[in-house]
Structures are given as structure tokens and as C-alpha cells.
Amino acid sequence: MNTQALLTPNNAMNRVRYGIDRMFDTMVPAFVRNIGLTDARLTGPSVNLIEDDDRLYVEAELPGVAMEDLEITVADNTLTISGARSLSVPDDATPLRQERGELVFERSLGLPTQVEVDAVEARMVDGVLRVTLPKASTSRTRRIAVTQG
């Protein structure tokens, strides 16, 4: 089997590399925020938009993000999702591999139809956020019965 050991915490070079990576990982998002630019971490997360006759559903994968660290607003037909995820490091543990990272994100999405702003609901289930936006009555799909003349 083609296996490869990737974890060598006792290797001094890896420790130095880890330290430098962590430094950049914490500094860069703050710097980018301060000068008003954005990077991938700040513009995410990716969203999916699903639609039925009466509602829009916007979904985003946000594992480990607590509902209280999340802000969802709807204004001018734009949905904005912003928040942060902090990593909970197990007690007395040394990181050997870190792919997940902390997140600070903000995402805006123009909605294809008018929605009932007061009736918007958001739920987080198993790390997936789903925002349910009922369509405004004027935007709902109406089936017109065709009568024979």
C-alpha cells in the first residue's frame, strides 16, 4: 500500500513552519479586514439556493459555527450571512495537522424574488445552515387555470 507518514511533530523544522503558518493565519485575515480588502476566508461560505413555489432556501455548510456567532440579515432583497468559527483545541494537545482553520466570513447573496422579510427563518442542523425565505405574495408562482373558450 502506498502510505506516507506526514506527521513528524518532533521535527524542529515542522514546528517552525507550524509557528509561521499560525502567525500568518491570524495576522492576514485581521490585516485584510483592516485595509478593507477581502480574501477567500472572508468572502465565503459557498451557498446553494433552492426554490419551490412558495419559498427560497439558502444553504451553507458551516461546521462548528455556533448559532450565536452567526448574523443573518435580509435587506434590499439581499441576504447577508456573517460570522466566525473559533477552533476548540483539545486540552493539553499538540497540533500535528491543521486543515480546518478558523473562519471569519461574510457573504451576501442577491435574492431572485421579493421575500417576506418578517417570516425568514434560519436553522442549523449538523453544521449545515438553512435559511428559509417565504416569497412575497406578489412573487409566488401562480398557476393559471386555462379554460376552454
Q: Applying CB under 8 A, which residues contact other proteins?
A: 1-11, 14, 17-18, 21, 24-25, 28, 46-53, 55, 57, 61-66, 87, 89-101, 112, 124, 126-128
Would you say 92 or 149 has its CB closer to other proteins? Answer: 92
Least CB distance to other proteins at residue 93 (A): 4
Least CB distance to other proteins at residue 68 (A): 12
Least CB distance to other proteins at residue 148 (A): 30
The alpha carbon dihedral of 9, 25, 105, 57 has a sign of negative
Would you say 72 or 111 has its CB closer to other proteins? Answer: 111
Measured between its terminal Cα atoms, the distance across the chain in Å is: 74
Task: Name the grid cell of 89.
Answer: 483545541
Least CB distance to other proteins at residue 144 (A): 20
Distances from the Cα of 98 to the Cαs of 64, 89, 94, 147, in angstroms?
A: 15, 11, 11, 64
Would you say 61 or 116 has its CB closer to other proteins? Answer: 61
Alpha-carbon distance of 44 to 66, in angstroms, equals: 16
Would you say 96 or 117 has its CB closer to other proteins? Answer: 96
Alpha-carbon distance of 28 to 48, in angstroms, equals: 28
Task: Name the grid cell of 22.
Answer: 499560525
